[in-house]
Amino acid sequence: MAKLSIPAGTRDFGPEVVRKRNYILATIRKTFELYGFQPLETPAMENTSTLLGKYGEEGDRLIFKVLDNGDILGRAQQAKDNRELSLLLCEKSLKYDLTIPFARYVVMNHGKLVLPFKRYQIQPVWRGDKPQRGRYREFYQCDADVVGSNSLVNEVELLKIYDTVLTDLGMKGYQLKINNRKVLAGLAELVGRTDLMIDITIAIDKLDKIGDNGVREELAQRGLQPAEIDTVMDFIAVQGSNEEKLERLSALLANSETGLKGVEELRYVLNGKLATFNSEPLIDLTLARGLNYYTGMIVEVKAPPGVNMGSIGGGGRYDDLTGLFGLPGISGVGVSFGVDRIYDVLEELQLFPAAAQQSTQVIFFHPGEARLPEVFKYVTQVRERGIVTELFTEDIKQDKQYKYAEKRGIPFIAYVEDNAPDTIFIKNIPLKQRFTIKPEELADFAF
């Protein structure tokens, strides 16, 4: 028999990992709910036609396609290349993100939905990327979006959600970096190269990784003249507090209506009149985010300093996502949490609380069939108090029982002995305490 394995880039999550992941997901879900976001779940599979063309050429290639039933051989013989073959054989594909299925849902349910519609969605997505450390082919996304509202209050609420969740997770020192696509559009106007706006944003987004000179080179490669490059570099070099940056931007973008609109939006979101934050959002003019559907505020969350990790979340405002499916004029704004990376940060900083790692609280041993009904009764009684309780089913030598309890990390052991009727022995293993109680005392025993 061939050695067993699971597909590259996928993972089994054992009990300890599931518990910790559920702690993260529950913290996020609780906050989404608290803010009035409503849960949505869409199928793992979408029609291939729904997904194609929404993530660029590279994305099309990375979408996992699901083989049709029926006469696929006949169809396969008509294909001229790999791409055509995949399209002939696969009507369905695994979803690649939660945003496009959400847009598809909004369009399909447009008549019934009450707008603004605030939804959250916590589900796995699949991408055929080359697997590597921290990059998986199946991973969870956690998104919250509002569609059908142009109000910037949504932006403030979504930033508050980041602040609340990351504070609840104990992640002190995380950073919210924000920018606005209209400011970047203003920069392109300022440079005089609105045709190259995407190229400019792609290049400056890499400043962290490739430095000033790297960005200059990339801008040159993408067709900017030296004077234009200087303008870009001066722009992204603007320093100071949020207020100082906004002042400077107002001056620089004085001739760009779009740019000034962006500055005004940033000012509204950051003015501090609405919300206060544990970690103040900071303007980062190099922040661009790759997805081209963003049109307003963009945001990215950085792990606390000292943790070597890319962004642990991001989002922004898009003006016309459902336009992709023929329903224009519905704007939206959303944020996303990167669960796998948050997991790694909490692990590295040892921030998982003990409760997120605790499973069984008490295990009962029994000395054989004769006393089993009595012990089963005790187990049931403790469970009825809501305390997670196991009955060690095997009637074997006691050291195996202890080993099981130890390996499982169960703090309390309880048992009866053949020569001691009406007596329950209890040990608290971590505290090295022993108790001998009567059955009627079990109801109040503090496990």
- Minimum distance of its own copies from residue 33's CB (angstroms): 6
Q: Under rule CB under 8 A, which residues in 259-278 are in contact with its own copies?
A: 273-275
Do the Cβ atoms of 334 and 143 come closer than 8 Å?
yes
Judged by CB under 8 A, which of 28, 96, 97, 119 binds its own copies?
119
Q: Under rule CB under 8 A, which residues in 284-343 are in contact with its own copies?
A: 325-326
**Burial per residue of 133-149, b for 16 or more beta-carbon CB atoms within 10 angstroms, e otherwise:** eeebbebbbbbbbbbbb
Alpha-carbon dihedral of residues 80, 81, 82, 88, nearest 10 degrees?
A: -30
Q: Is there binding between residue 404 and its own copies (CB under 8 A)?
A: yes
Using a 10 angstrom Cβ sphere, with 0-12 exposed, 13-18 middle and 19 or more buried, the burial of residue 321 is buried
14/306 with CB nearer its own copies: 14
Count of residues of this chain found to bind its own copies when the rule CB under 8 A is applied: 99
Task: State yes or no: 145 annotated in a binding site.
Answer: yes
- Minimum distance of its own copies from residue 422's CB (angstroms): 18
- Minimum distance of its own copies from residue 178's CB (angstroms): 18
Angle between helices 197-204 and 226-236 (to 10 degrees): 50
CA pair distance 262, 181, nearest whole angstrom: 7
| Helix residue spans in 271-364 (DSSP H) | 339-348
Q: Under rule CB under 8 A, which residues in 207-236 are in contact with its own copies?
A: none
- Minimum distance of its own copies from residue 31's CB (angstroms): 9
Q: Is there binding between residue 49 and its own copies (CB under 8 A)?
A: yes
- Minimum distance of its own copies from residue 134's CB (angstroms): 17
Q: Is there binding between residue 109 and its own copies (CB under 8 A)?
A: yes
For residue 130, which of 232, 194, 68, 58 has the smallest C-alpha distance?
58
Judged by CB under 8 A, which of 54, 118, 182, 245 binds its own copies?
118
Of the candidate spans 72-80, 178-186, 281-289, 420-428, the one that interacts with its own copies by CB under 8 A turns out to be: 72-80
Could you tell me the end-to-end alpha-carbon distance of the chain, in angstroms, rounded to an integer? 47
For residue 231, which of 246, 215, 209, 245 has the smallest C-alpha distance?
215
**Binding site: which residues?**
97-99, 127, 141, 145, 289, 293-294
